Structure 1
Amino acid sequence: MSEPEIRLQAWETHIEEFGTQQYGLSFDTLIKAVGKGPRAAHKLARRLKKSGRAHVVRIDYGSPGPWRNSKNFDEPGAAPHGPLWMFADRQIAWGYLEFDPGEWHPKASTAAHLTAVTELRLALTGLDTDPQVWTSERLLRRRLKTESGLAGIHIHDAWFQDFADPDKVWAVEVELSRKFGDGRLTRSLSAALEAAERNDLCGVLYFVRGDGLRRAVEGAATRLAHQRNLDRLPNLEIHDLDATLARKGVR
């Protein structure tokens, strides 16, 4: 006998769309997005996985844990390493994105960054999935590649509509660690600003983790301003990522 079809509620499909725009969600982020406690978030993940709409995997990128074996998502007796991640099946993602995203799986090298960007989105715009309010990197990558025909252009972590003036859009960049060596940080900052200017954005909002990284970004911004014969860059704002998340109740 076949199992009855799983019918999703409106809030469940909303979370599914949000997660798809962000590539996927770690379970910690999923719990924050659902806002109904861990049990409701895990139940949603089970329902989506059981229906074939989503995949659930573990990604080990050095997070300290401790990790407990999940009877729903781990093999019996397996020693878990890293947090659980949920991401939409390719066909489901295609329906939400309105283009074929290809096969995608979370990687240890980018999981922490994707998590930070998604938490920032929750802090700034909540679960709003209007791409005019928050244009995710996944959507930007498709749009800009289609418009320019170039795969090597700088893609921001997101575009964010200004609360005070909806006609203004900011680029968003999230930095978790220092880029060392031969002016890499300055070049990265310059590329982000030039891409914002090229796309008629009002500037770049840089969200950084830790005082050391903030000082490094501020130093790079000063050097870049002097290269442009300016005292300061008028189209750059530097913010503390964790302070922003804490102020908005996300962390």
Structure 2
Amino acid sequence: MSKNTPIRKPSERTAKSSTRSTTRSPSRSSPQSSARRAPSSSINKAELKKLVMVLVMVLVLTGGLVWYFFGSRAPRLPEQAKILVEPPPDSNAIPHTTEKETVFEASVEYLSPRTFAPKIVVEENIGEGTVAPPHVPKPKVRRAPVVDPETGAVEPVPEPDIPEVVKNWSGVVLVPEVARVSKAYTSSVALSRVEAHPLKNGRLHVWVRMRNKMGYPVEVEKDCRFRAYHERVHNRLGFESVSIPARGYADVMFLSPDASIEEYTILVRLARDKVGEGDEDLL
């Protein structure tokens, strides 16, 4: 090493390097670079706003689809059937409880389109079962045509009013106290379950499970009488026979002839041709 070459101390090198870095730093935060970053910030805000709007639209559409496919299919109690759930003060209706399950699997066939079915409960150890045809009101008797004596005009015969068993069950299950809505005139059969299924047109499907307590098949006749709200007269459907397997059961459905049913009573008796001596009082 030459004698004339000065020796730099470490502190001097550090000071110079720090001076250089200090000199460069203003160029990094120059006004030109800040001006370049400003448009990028505004673009990010615009994109964020668009993204929020898209998310809101997606949520609205999703909510609409969920309501359309699920909300509108939820069972709803028809207005004319509320009398059975919350009877008014001037009503003699027997209060029913609302349940989310049914034991009548065949009732699902009468569900209104796009309506959720309640849970089906399968009872065990109840023997062989059968489902009777729907018990509907009988058509009114057709009267003879009326002829006007003066003009000779013939009045047309009106068509009978026959309520159709259509698929318009609301999906609501109403359960009463069995003993208060039934009268069994035979000890061979027990009514183990009664459900009222309100239809969207105001009528009722009354489902009954009749259990045979005997070790042999039993043939019985069943009927149901209905009374509408503010009506004094009961409308009966008429007795029809049904055969119940030994130690088994039969599911029966009655269709009310009117809407706004306030009261109904299920009637069961031995078939007339099956009544033995001493059983005449069962008729």
* Structure with greater strand percent: 2
TM-score bracket, normalised by the shorter chain, equals: under 0.3
* Structure with greater helix percent: 1
- Specify the structure having the higher radius of gyration (Cα): 2
Higher-RCO chain (CA-CA 8 Å, sequence separation at least 6)? 2
What TM-score, normalized by structure 1, do the two folds share? 0.24
What TM-score, normalized by structure 2, do the two folds share? 0.23
